[in-house]
Chain A
Amino acid sequence: MSSDWPLWEVFIRVRGGLSHRHAGSVHAPDGEMAMRHARDTYTRRMEGVSLWVIQSNDIIASDPADSSALFEPAQDKIYRHPTFYALPTEVEHM
């Protein structure tokens, strides 16, 4: 097979006050070039004000096979949500 650079994931802060969000990927030989490639690929239309890049291999992702154990136990903890509590109508804001 011919050679290509490793894959990096690109995250963009769309504007101040927002968190970085996954935008896509680039191939690059190192972090510095990954940053340049991210800029040259994903910010050509004023898509952001800040970039993160991380080598794809370094991301640890949850396994979909575990998703019921990971995420379903949260389903019945309805008391964590404000809508669980009925307020007397006299209380307008809380």
Chain B
Amino acid sequence: MERALYDYLLRRGDDSLILSQRLSEWCGHAPTIEVDLSLANLGLDLLGQATLFLDYAASMNADVHNADALAFHRDAAEFRNCLLVEQPNGDFAQTIVRQFLYSTWQKMLFDRLAFSKDPTVAAIAAKAVKEISYHADLSADWMIRLGGGTDESNRRLKAGVEWMWRLVPELLVADEIDNELITKDIAPDPASFETDFMTKIAEVFAEAGLDVSPLPRNFASGRRGYHSEHLGHLLCTMQYLPRAYPDAQW
């Protein structure tokens, strides 16, 4: 098994899976029915991406039967998602900030991943990038409306940014796994779109009336399995049934 690619697939799959799980928590509880439907569409797109990446990963690992085995039978330390996506929903502003930051980054990553030398990765990314494009635009629209809406929405949006901002630097790190795949032209270098990413954020933040703070030191390394306290609780809920009844087929 190609260890680096396997790990990379987990990173991509886990990001989408965990963010989808967070979005599913909104189902039935959003500010209006329309927003409920929008968030569910995002969640479903991400769930589809997760399934494709994790199935591909599973196909590389003889010990793992399928995507479900990866999603439901790994512990927090084996998850490879970034810390941004596992953050609690908070209020709608916090959810939107998380979505905007992640989707904007994911869009730029997948634009490039669609040209991966690995044909399966390229195909998944090419399909996903259309979905992500919509996620990025929709969340940017909401950033601008919340920022330029009322005093309250502006205050809440700022609080959301304050919560999430410390987790942005993790997105820009390339470690030895990335580097190995970058050399093989399987994955893009996050540094190659860092400027574009920061420019896009600055653009939307400006329209939303937000200041862009300098990026803080990175403390997050979800890609190595070091997570926030939130992931364990999310997994307790998500994995409960398959863990409690390991022999069951659902």
Contact A40:B37 (CB < 8 A) given known A5-B32, A27-B32: yes
Q: Considering only CB atoms, which chain B residue lies closest to A42 in the complex?
A: B37
The docked-state distance in angstroms from the alpha carbon of A33 to that of B138 is 9
**A36 close to B138 (CB less than 8 A):** yes
B34 contacts A26, CB within 8 Å? Answer: yes
CB distance from B139 to the nearest CB of A (A): 11
Q: Which residues of A contact B141 (CB under 8 A)?
A: 32-33, 36
Asked whether A28 and B34 contact (CB < 8 A) given A36-B138, A36-B141, the answer is: yes
Binary per-residue interface labels of chain B (233-247) against chain A in the complex, 1 for a CB within 8 Å, 0 otherwise: 000000000000000
A44: interface (CB < 8 Å): yes
Task: Give the CA-CA distance A32 to B137 in the complex, in Å.
Answer: 11
Residues of A within 8 A of B32 (CB): 4-5, 27
Contact with A along B180-196 (1 / 0, CB 8 A): 00000000000000000
For A5, the chain B residues whose CB sits under 8 A away are 32
Alpha-carbon distance A89/B172, docked complex (angstroms): 80
- Cβ of A91 to closest chain B Cβ, rounded Å: 54
**Interface residue count for A (Cβ, 8 Å)?**
13
B28-71, CB < 8 A from A: 32-34, 37-38, 41
Q: Nearest Cβ in chain B — how far from A30, in angstroms?
A: 8
Is B145 an interface residue, CB under 8 A from the partner?
A: yes
| Cβ contacts under 8 Å, B145 to chain A | 29, 33
Question: Is A27's CB under 8 angstroms from B34's CB?
Answer: yes
- The contact string, 1 if C-beta is below 8 Å from chain B, for chain A 13-33, is 000000000000011110011
B41 touches A44 (CB 8 A): yes
With both beta carbons as reference points, the residue of chain B lying nearest to A38 in the complex is identified as B34
Within 8 A of B (CB), among A24-79: 26-29, 32-33, 36-37, 40-41, 44
Give chain B residues whose Cβ lies under 8 Å from the Cβ of A29: 145
Q: Which of A26, A28, A36, A41 has the most CB of B within 10 A?
A: A36
Listed A/B pairs (14) with beta-carbon separation below 8 Å = A5-B32, A27-B33, A27-B34, A28-B34, A33-B141, A33-B145, A36-B138, A37-B34, A37-B37, A40-B34, A40-B38, A40-B41, A41-B34, A44-B37
Q: Which positions in B face A, CB cutoff 8 Å?
A: 32-34, 37-38, 41, 138, 141, 145
Not counting A37-B38, A40-B41, a sample of 16 additional A-B residue pairs whose C-beta atoms are within 8 angstroms of each other reads: A4-B32, A5-B32, A26-B34, A27-B32, A27-B33, A27-B34, A32-B141, A33-B141, A33-B145, A36-B38, A37-B34, A40-B37, A40-B38, A41-B37, A44-B37, A44-B41
